Amino acid sequence: MSSRKGQRDAARVVREQIAREKRRKRTLWTSIAAVLVLVIAGGIGWAVYSSQKSTSYTTPPGANDAGTGIVRGTGPVTIDLYEDYLCPACKQFQETSGPTVDQLVDEGKAKVVFHPVAYLNRFSTTEYSTRASAASGCAAKGGKFKEFTDALYAKQPPENSAGLSDEQLIDIGAGVGLDKGSFGSCVNDGTYKSWTEHVTEDASKSGVTGTPTIKVNGQPVDDRSPDGLKAAVAAAGK
């Protein structure tokens, strides 16, 4: 009798072990399925986000076909300027070599594509680089991009500050001939902030790691002096 009871107990233990193993496998496969659903959903979400992000920016008038910079001139050689409005070295470049760039454009030797990137937001408390770049898009819309850019560098705020306020940016725009009403609305609405993000991301993807970065026909220029620029453009034009 005890032998049969022992057999029944042993069989019950085996059945319980088998049941537990089945439950463990069901739980495992359920977990795997849940993870797969999350991965697939995440992939779809990222694809949707990426597609929306790539088409959600507004490009200001005067931009190149890629929408990554404002073009001046029609010369055969392309000068790409990657600058941040908060960058002191960019201000220095504009003061020393900006007139040379203007001369090369005016003489029909080159066209310039100005890429107003926002690399230095961490050096202001109000994301000044982004706000200034977006405001430059508003200036381009009003046909005063160069004038606004020159004025911004003339009044460049120090790093690690709040930077110029939107109101100050609007006043600078009005000072170079932009309509204060429409330009002010554009700045306050942040119309071109998404464009600034596009410009900055494209610059990073193309290997631009700092500002100012100057390229002539796609090649980096180490000598950013007036003579260095003229030489690079002359060599590229041959």
User: CB under 8 Å to 82, separation ≥6 — which residues?
Assistant: 115, 117, 203, 208, 211, 212, 213, 214, 215
pLDDT category of residue 56 using cuts at 50, 70 and 90: confident
Mean pLDDT, residues 224-231: 97
- The CATH number given to whatever domain includes residue 74 is 3.40.30.10
Name the residue range of residue 118's domain: 70-236
Of residues 137 and 9, more confidently modeled: 137
| pLDDT at residue 167 greater than cutoff 70 | yes
Quick one: pLDDT band at residue 106, thresholds 50, 70, 90? very high
Q: In this structure, are 46 and 15 located in the same domain?
A: yes
- The reported pLDDT for the residue numbered 91 is 98
Residue 62 is assigned to a structural domain of this protein: no
The domain tally of the chain equals 2
For residues 45 and 100, state if they share a domain: no
Mean pLDDT of 196-222: 97
Does any domain span residue 64? no
Token look-up 């002191």 returns 88
Residue 97 has pLDDT above 50, yes or no: yes
Q: Are residues 147 and 95 in the same domain?
A: yes
CA dist 224 and 135 (Å) reads 26
- Confidence at residue 238, expressed as pLDDT on a 0 to 100 scale: 80
Among 41-50, 77-86, 201-210, the least confident range: 41-50
| Residue where the block lists tokens 């010369």 | 75
Cβ neighbours for 3, distance < 8 A, ≥ 6 positions apart:
none
Res 33: pLDDT: 46
Q: For all residues of the chain together, what is the average pLDDT?
A: 86
| Segment 136-151, tens digit of pLDDT | 999 999 999 999 999 9
